[in-house]
Amino acid sequence: MAIKRAAADTADWQAVLDLVLEAFAYMEGRIDPPSSAHRLTVEAMAAQTEEGAVFMAEGRDGTLLGCVFLKPKGDAFYLGKLAIRPALQGEGIGRRLFEASIEEARARNLPEIELQARVELTENHAAFAAMGFREVGRTAHDGYDRPTSVTMRYTI
Q: How far apart are CA 137 and CA 71, in angstroms?
A: 19
Residues 98 and 131: their CA atoms lie apart, in Å, by 9
Is 80 exceeded by the pLDDT of residue 50? Answer: yes
Instruction: Specify the number of domains making up the chain.
Output: 1
- Average pLDDT estimate for 131-139: 97
What pLDDT is stored for residue 151 in this prediction? 98
Evaluate if residue 92 carries a pLDDT over 80. Answer: yes
Return the closest-CA partner of residue 19 out of 87, 120, 92, 72: 87
pTM (predicted TM-score) = 0.93
Strands 76-84 and 112-118: parallel
What is the tens place of the pLDDT at every residue in 51-90?
999 999 999 999 999 999 999 999 999 999 999 999 999 9
Show Cβ contacts of residue 113 under 8 Å, excluding neighbours closer than 6 positions.
70, 76, 77, 78, 79, 101, 102, 105, 133, 153, 154, 156
Task: Tell me the residue range of the domain where 74 lies.
Answer: 2-155
User: Among residues 71, 79, 69, 89, which one has the least CA distance to residue 23?
Assistant: 89
CATH of the domain at 147: 3.40.630.30
- Section 5-26 average pLDDT: 92
